[in-house]
Structure 1
Amino acid sequence: MADAASRLTALAQDLLGVPLPVRIRAWDGSEAGPPGAPVLVVRHRRALRRLLWKPGELGLARAWVAGELDADGDLYALLARIAALLWERGGDQRPVRPVRDPRLRAAARELVRLGGPWPPPPPPTEEIRGRTGRTHTRRRDRQAVSHHYDVGNDFYALVLGPSMVYSCACFTEGATLEQAQRAKLDLVCRKLALKEGDRLLDVGCGWGSMALHAAREYGATVVGVTLSTEQAAYARKRIAEEGLADRIEIRVQDYRDVRDGPYDAISSIGMAEHVGTERYQEYADDLYALLRPGGRLLNHQIARRPERDESAYRLDPFIDAYVFPDGELAPLGRTTSALERAGFEVRDTEALREHYALTLRHWVARLEAHWPEAVRLTSPGRARVWRLYMAAAALAFERHQIGVNQILAVRTGPDGHSGLPLRPRVWNETPADGS
């Protein structure tokens, strides 16, 4: 097994048909690849067995979560080189095709020799398993939400910071993460034109930050719904500590089971990604029915770029197995079309793509700065899932592979009255903090 790094480098170049743009450091201490390039560390040959039995992204992800693959130095630089190699050559975002010649068989034999002929290692325990039946039933959605969110409020507080807002912030020059998250919450409230006594439904309320801001700063009466018991307990504690229990109710409830409308406004911030394509029209119809005539919806949602052939779209295997089980991203046009079919008038769409990249970089920095504590609060594998997921997502936003948008929609009255001002985006002129 001498000089495993050189053998791995030659193997990768044979399979990909191009020079490898990263250095490899292997389990035997050897290194190979371009001098000064980002370093991919292969800590154990077991990583190669994972790739033999599960080629592609899921095999790589399992090796990363298990600690068999790692980055030495700047993770963003390493991921950028790998992304450019696999997904972005010539502007094509699909993986490159391996070289199809007799070298493939020789490469496969070499991979077996390097990785060993033993059976595949079991997936890391952080991978969700045992999913059965149709996606996006109430039971399966509860399982998916619990997998992602019920991993410990202390862990989320470490990553997200005091705001406990798990969605894209809105930055201005020099703003801290806390200031940018407050600005986002305030922007949502102003777009919804909240005022004293308004009833707000916060769908996917998380740890209660939006509900608290709307009640404290705008005098709204808020119902927040979440499927996460840990989120609900944390939100109720915050609400009690601020003395706002008379204005805010937090429920562990599926949005499909909310029946106490009408509401004056609905906020859905980072929740619609969990709904699923087959349920999205139902989601739009349900929210429309819960609003009074003249009521507003603010839908804040990550969007993917549309495929030329939408039938070719597949869930990302790493995200589906480790991060957001059953989560699906829709193109912006599909979302607005569903809202319009439900009866909404879409009045404004604002793209915040660059803001989410900045938000994610802040979260990664917090995670890396508190790494031993993050591992203690969850597990080494879970912390590694989050580091990889957030860093890769930051690059995806920066490179316009995905985006995030706020859509303001209104349920107009019978006479077509929207209640919106004639001048668009007046909400950008009067932030609550006076800045």
Structure 2
Amino acid sequence: MLEKTFYKMMLSKSFPFPVKVTYWDGKSEVYGNGTPEIEIVFNEKIPMGDITRNASLALGEAYMDKKIEIHGSIQKLIDGVYESADSFMRSSKFRKFLPKTKHTEKQSEEDVQSHYDIGNDFYEQWLDPTLTYSCAYFTDDNKDDLEQAQIAKVHHILNKLHPQKGKTLLDIGCGWGTLMLTAAKEYGLKVTGITLSEEQYKLVQKKIYAENLQDVAEVKLEDYRELDDQQWDYVTSVGMFEHVGSENLGEYFNDVAKYLKNDGVALIHGITRQQGGATNAWINKYIFPGGYIPGLVEIISRIEEAHLQISDVEMLRRHYQRTLEIWDKNFNNARPEIEKKMGERFCRMWDMYLQACAASFESGNIDVVQYLLTKGLSGKNLPMTRDYMLNNK
């Protein structure tokens, strides 16, 4: 009886729309007025202590293990939780302080490999053909497909640098190489990419040789903190600082500054919370070990401490929501094949992850931001207005 009272308290004010909840005893209640489009079914009781200690971890694991079923849109359900001020994810009754995550070089290597080295074939099944695993940039609300939008994102980033042929670029966390290789082939830059993922490293190396780019492109399997004293004209880093941890953000931006030549330009693209930094225990345990989403003020402070100048800031939250919605659709289209290899629990986990992230961007719980930075006070290598950024190739 006590558990039922707790669950009612937790759920009755958590959604801005009607939701049907069916409990483990088979009895159902509707919270909110109207006909519910979403139903939550508790096949088992989740201990109160587990939920109050960490709701995202307890409920995420329960969904993976089929202790909870959700009929209807997971994305809409989670977006509603973020929207409601009295929900169990926002109320002080359910908040907890999360332990600090480790970010030694060894831990960072293990964290990256646990996520990105699942296998290139896994990501090929639901990413676009460029294998770009970060926020796309949709220039047309109705016509852009995902591949077009990912290519547009790469050009948007490179155009912001206002790059000059023959100069050099370092891509920190180069992924499967689309940005760095586009910079080499279409912008005439000499590029270096670094990654801690062996799977990514091998594929980028293969691309470099296949396209005869050895004279202008190289990839290194190396920690960003261990590069030599070389400097580059441009630095890019996409979806990287979310992995470094709060305690290492200062070092990360100091290294960006160290690797930039005087009057160099950097474009740093990453997930940021306008409300302040945060972690998610379920995502940290199952998807991104060591992940930390820094706050906007925190990021800007670290940029200032590294003596870098902010030339431009652009929010792309709606673009990432749409990217994730397409990824989740692609994932579920490929789900029968993925499930044969990885199992049902793995697929439930990834489906929930993609929909939960889409909901977080939709609700404004998190954002994705591009920071255009210069080393030196003048930023003299950039045009006076932003018009040049829209010169998409």
Instruction: With the length of structure 1 as denominator, give the TM-score of the two structures.
Output: 0.80
Matches for 1:13-412 after TM superposition, within 5 Å? 13-14=8-9, 18=13, 21-25=18-22, 32-33=29-30, 35-42=35-42, 44-45=43-44, 48-49=45-46, 53=50, 55=52, 56-84=55-83, 88-89=84-85, 94-95=90-91, 97=93, 135-173=102-140, 174-307=143-276, 315-412=279-376
Spell out, residue by residue over 1:326-371, the C-alpha distance to the aligned partner (whole angstroms, 9 max, x if none): 2111222321221222121111111111111111111111111111
Once the two structures are TM-superposed, the CA of residue 421 in structure 1 deviates from its matched residue by 1.2
Q: Is the 2:13–2:87 contact (alpha carbons within 8 Å) kept by the matching residues of 1?
A: no
Letter in 2 for 1:78: L
| Structure 1 Cα separation of the partners of residues 289 and 89 of structure 2 | 23
Q: Is the 1:192–1:265 contact (alpha carbons within 8 Å) kept by the matching residues of 2?
A: yes
Q: Is the 2:14–2:81 contact (alpha carbons within 8 Å) kept by the matching residues of 1?
A: no
Residue ranges of structure 2 left out of the alignment (5+ in a row): none
SS of the equivalent of 1:294 reads strand
Q: Is the 1:236–1:250 contact (alpha carbons within 8 Å) kept by the matching residues of 2?
A: yes
Once the two structures are TM-superposed, the CA of residue 69 in structure 1 deviates from its matched residue by 2.0
Residue ranges of structure 1 left out of the alignment (5+ in a row): 1-5, 99-131, 308-312
Letter in 2 for 1:382: F
Letter in 1 for 2:311: R
Q: Against the structure 1 CA distance between its residues 150 and 379, is the aligned structure 2 distance closer, same or farther, given a 3 Å change threshold?
A: farther
Q: Is the 1:9–1:33 contact (alpha carbons within 8 Å) kept by the matching residues of 2?
A: no
| Structure 1 Cα separation of the partners of residues 107 and 239 of structure 2 | 19
Q: Is 1:426 matched with 2:388?
A: yes
Q: Against the structure 1 CA distance between its residues 241 and 134, is the aligned structure 2 distance closer, same or farther, given a 3 Å change threshold?
A: same
| Structure 2 Cα separation of the partners of residues 60 and 302 of structure 1 | 23
Letter in 2 for 1:150: D
Identical pairs, percent: 33
| Structure 2 Cα separation of the partners of residues 36 and 201 of structure 1 | 51
| Alignment: residue pair count | 380
Spell out, residue by residue over 1:18-39, the C-alpha distance to the aligned partner (whole angstroms, 9 max, x if none): 5984223567876553643302
Q: Is the 1:65–1:381 contact (alpha carbons within 8 Å) kept by the matching residues of 2?
A: yes
Q: Is the 1:202–1:223 contact (alpha carbons within 8 Å) kept by the matching residues of 2?
A: yes
SS of the equivalent of 2:383 reads coil
SS of the equivalent of 2:321 reads helix
Q: Is the 2:11–2:87 contact (alpha carbons within 8 Å) kept by the matching residues of 1?
A: no
Q: Against the structure 1 CA distance between its residues 19 and 342, is the aligned structure 2 distance closer, same or farther, given a 3 Å change threshold?
A: closer
Q: Is the 1:203–1:266 contact (alpha carbons within 8 Å) kept by the matching residues of 2?
A: yes
Q: Is the 1:222–1:247 contact (alpha carbons within 8 Å) kept by the matching residues of 2?
A: yes
| Structure 2 Cα separation of the partners of residues 245 and 270 of structure 1 | 26
Q: Is the 2:170–2:192 contact (alpha carbons within 8 Å) kept by the matching residues of 1?
A: yes
Q: Is the 1:151–1:378 contact (alpha carbons within 8 Å) kept by the matching residues of 2?
A: no
Letter in 1 for 2:90: R
Spell out, residue by residue over 1:89-119, the C-alpha distance to the aligned partner (whole angstroms, 9 max, x if none): 2699723648xxxxxxxxxxxxxxxxxxxxx
| Structure 2 Cα separation of the partners of residues 330 and 80 of structure 1 | 20
Letter in 2 for 1:89: A
Q: Is the 1:39–1:78 contact (alpha carbons within 8 Å) kept by the matching residues of 2?
A: no
SS of the equivalent of 1:211 reads helix
Spell out, residue by residue over 1:119-162, the C-alpha distance to the aligned partner (whole angstroms, 9 max, x if none): xxxxxxxxxxxxx9971110111111112211111111122121
Q: Against the structure 1 CA distance between its residues 158 and 28, is the aligned structure 2 distance closer, same or farther, given a 3 Å change threshold?
A: farther
133-142 or 254-263, which moves further after superposition?
133-142
Once the two structures are TM-superposed, the CA of residue 385 in structure 1 deviates from its matched residue by 2.1
| Structure 2 Cα separation of the partners of residues 319 and 189 of structure 1 | 30
| Structure 2 Cα separation of the partners of residues 305 and 51 of structure 1 | 31
| Structure 2 Cα separation of the partners of residues 245 and 70 of structure 1 | 51
Q: Which has the higher contact order (CA 8 A, sep 6+)?
A: 2
SS of the equivalent of 1:89 reads coil
| Structure 1 Cα separation of the partners of residues 118 and 259 of structure 2 | 31
Q: Against the structure 1 CA distance between its residues 215 and 15, is the aligned structure 2 distance closer, same or farther, given a 3 Å change threshold?
A: closer
- Aligned-CA RMSD value: 2.8
SS of the equivalent of 1:159 reads coil
| Structure 2 Cα separation of the partners of residues 148 and 209 of structure 1 | 19
| Structure 2 Cα separation of the partners of residues 30 and 241 of structure 1 | 61
Q: Against the structure 1 CA distance between its residues 8 and 240, is the aligned structure 2 distance closer, same or farther, given a 3 Å change threshold?
A: farther
